[in-house]
Structure formats: C-alpha cells, structure tokens
Amino acid sequence: MEAKLYVGNLPFNVNDVDLQGLFAQAGAVKSAQVIKDRASGRSKGFGFVEMESSEDAQSAITMFHGKDYNGRALTVNIARPREERSGGFRGGDHNRERRRDY
C-alpha cells in the first residue's frame, strides 16, 4: 500500500526531480511534487512524496525527518488528508446595497 508524505522546510530552489531523487534513497517513489505559488511560480517550501509502500514511507521518515538538506532541517511525516474548504470570501455581506445615511 502506497503512502503519501508531507515534506516541509524545503530549500526554495528544490524542484520535483530533486525531491524524487532524494527520497529514492529510502525506497521506491511513486511521485514527488514541490508545491508552488500560483501567482509567482516559486516554491512554497514544502511538497509531497508518494512512496510505493508504507515500509518505504516509514524508511523515508526515519532517514530524513530532522536531517539537514542544503542547510535546512527537513520535516517529514505522513500527509494528512486535505481539509474541505468552504468557497468564497468569508467577509461581510457584499451582496447587500450599501447604506448611506445622509
């Protein structure tokens, strides 16, 4: 059974290929993705790695969590499921006409 890992505190110059190569040292990597900012395209400093088995995932956690990678101590753990987000803006009621007291 595959396991998805969260990888945090990545150097901002790391790309998907770098991340996959790093985690391949711990076992078979199914996919690796560095999360990027939509507007700028720059790395947000974290990513996700999907390992082929839960054993490989545990090996990666043991091997890389807290370890230095290009001057940064990595955070590696099992990824939590993405939380549902409500859509839209949560501010005041912008559909209502503005009231003006003159």
Indicate whether 85 belongs to any domain.
no
Indicate whether 91 belongs to any domain.
no
User: What does the DSSP 8-state code read for residue 95?
Assistant: S
pLDDT value, residue 96: 53
Indicate whether 89 belongs to any domain.
no
> How far, CA to CA in Å, does 9 sit from each of 45, 55, 57, 63, 66?
6, 23, 18, 15, 10
Looking up residue 35, the CATH number of its domain turns out to be: 3.30.70.330
When divided into structural domains, the chain yields a total of 1
Indicate whether 68 belongs to any domain.
yes
Averaged over successive runs of 10 residues, the pLDDT of the chain (102 residues) comes to: 91 96 97 96 96 97 97 96 71 55 56
| Domain enclosing residue 56, as ranges | 3-78
DSSP secondary structure string, 63-83?
Answer: HHTT-EETTEE-EEEEPPPPP
pLDDT value, residue 6: 98
